[in-house]
Amino acid sequence: MLRLVLLALAATLAAHAQPSPEADRPRARDLGLAVGILPPGPLNAITDVAGVRVGHATVVEGDAVRTGVTAILPHGGNVYAERVPAAVAVGNGYGKLLGVTQIRELGEIETPILLTCTLCVWRAADALVEILLEQPGMEEVRSINAVVGETNDGVLNDIRSRPVRPEHVAEALGAASGGPVAEGSVGAGTGTVAFGWKGGIGTASRALPATLGGHTVGVLVQSNFGGVLTMNGAPVGRELGQFAFQQALGESADGSVMIVVATDAPLDARLLERLAHRALAGLARTGAAFTNGSGDYVIAFSTDRDGDALVPNDAMSPLFQAVAEATEEAIYNSMLRATTVTGHRGTIESLPLDRVVEVLDAYGVRGWDRSLPPGRE
């Protein structure tokens, strides 16, 4: 009964949702900012991995609440009954990633992955458990390892009010679908800040050619961290005068990022942990420094549940390249698509696109894909 009530509330919220302003802002490739050497999937999103679904609930209330929930589902079935292999990598452990020890112990996840704000983790997890327990076939279940990650959006969001409610979790789960993924100031990225500008949700993918295994790797990020923004090697933060440890701005380097990696490659927990660690290479390329107060986490899972013919160790390198590139590009997308937001403690501006393009052109980093040989697919 509770699940039906929550889903009804979610449908009502979705029916009154406003068009996303992010539609007017470009992704990285719209600006000619092509990251790396591997081709993206058709959507350049985590949903290029067949079966993966993403849904958002954006929570904007009054002048101070700017937060939300983002749900990532490995497949369209009951994840508890049809678990997928998974692993976690930690760049810096200043965070509240719920469910991490059981993932590490068993090498699998048994619930959708939720992302939200720091002080909403437990409320989101409680709602997720309530919803799952109401599903058919779950009547005898007595233990659920809810997987919930977070970043601290307390600049734009009145985080102490802990505004995420069960209907928001139900909305995100109910909205989860394949296809294009909304990015920027939506869902769990509604109130986030990255490199001093507006952060948010971003996604990207890489589709390996058949000669390198033919597998797909997709990444979704919740960006909310500091450092010196670098885009394809161009020092954007430095050139625009906004970067960590700059005394005149009082800019802090702390913050957090959640990175979710999906792949259809047949990987077990050990191989997925290796893959998750390489996502941190992509994070580092954007100018992050994994500072003391930054919770930098990667959750990686495979949608291939058979595990009959695992990718051998010496064939993992193309997947490593893919996840690093997709993570880097997903972070750029999270910021480029984000809009200026005014909230609890002021206004955080979005990246100034014209000035960013000027810096990218000054360093000659746009259009790199045009120099690559044909036939990468």
pLDDT (tens digit, 9 = 90+) per residue, 166-176? 999 999 999 99
**pLDDT reading at 137 higher than 70:** yes
Q: How far apart are the first and last CA of the chain?
A: 49
**pLDDT reading at 252 higher than 50:** yes
Tell me the residue type at 293. Answer: G
pLDDT of residue 203: 99
Range with the poorest average pLDDT among 168-177, 272-281, 365-374: 365-374
**pLDDT reading at 154 higher than 60:** yes
Sequence-ordered alpha helix ranges (H) in the chain: 2-15, 100-106, 121-133, 166-175, 236-240, 269-285, 317-336, 353-362
pLDDT digits (tens, 9 = 90+) for 197-234: 999 999 999 999 999 999 999 999 999 999 999 999 99
Report how far residue 310's alpha carbon sits from residue 307's, in angstroms, rounded to the nearest whole number.
6
pLDDT above 70: percentage of residues in the chain: 90
pLDDT of residue 169: 98
pLDDT of residue 376: 54
**pLDDT reading at 245 higher than 90:** no
pLDDT of residue 251: 52
Nearest C-alpha neighbor of 318 from the set 244, 222, 211, 245? 211
Residues recognised as catalytic: 256, 294, 296
* 133-157: b (≥16 Cβ within 10 Å) or e: ebeeeeeeeeebbbbbbbbbbbbbb
**pLDDT reading at 264 higher than 80:** yes
Does CATH place domain 2-9+39-366 in 3.90.1170.50?
no
pLDDT of residue 305: 82
pLDDT of residue 254: 76
At 5, is the pLDDT very low, low, confident or very high (cuts 50, 70, 90)?
very low
Report how far residue 325's alpha carbon sits from residue 332's, in angstroms, rounded to the nearest whole number.
11
pLDDT digits (tens, 9 = 90+) for 39-95: 999 999 999 999 999 999 999 999 999 999 999 999 999 999 999 999 999 999 999
pLDDT of residue 246: 62
pLDDT above 90: percentage of residues in the chain: 86
For residues 222-250, give the mean pLDDT.
Answer: 85
Quick check: 40 and 208 in contact, CB under 8 A?
no
Range with the poorest average pLDDT among 7-16, 192-201, 278-287, 335-344: 7-16
β-strand partners of 341: 348
At 18, is the pLDDT very low, low, confident or very high (cuts 50, 70, 90)?
very low
Average pLDDT value over all residues in the chain: 92
Residues 6+ apart with CB under 8 A from 54: 45, 46, 47, 70, 71, 72, 73, 176, 177, 181, 203, 220
β-strand partners of 67: 59
Reading the block at residue 57, the tokens are 């609930």
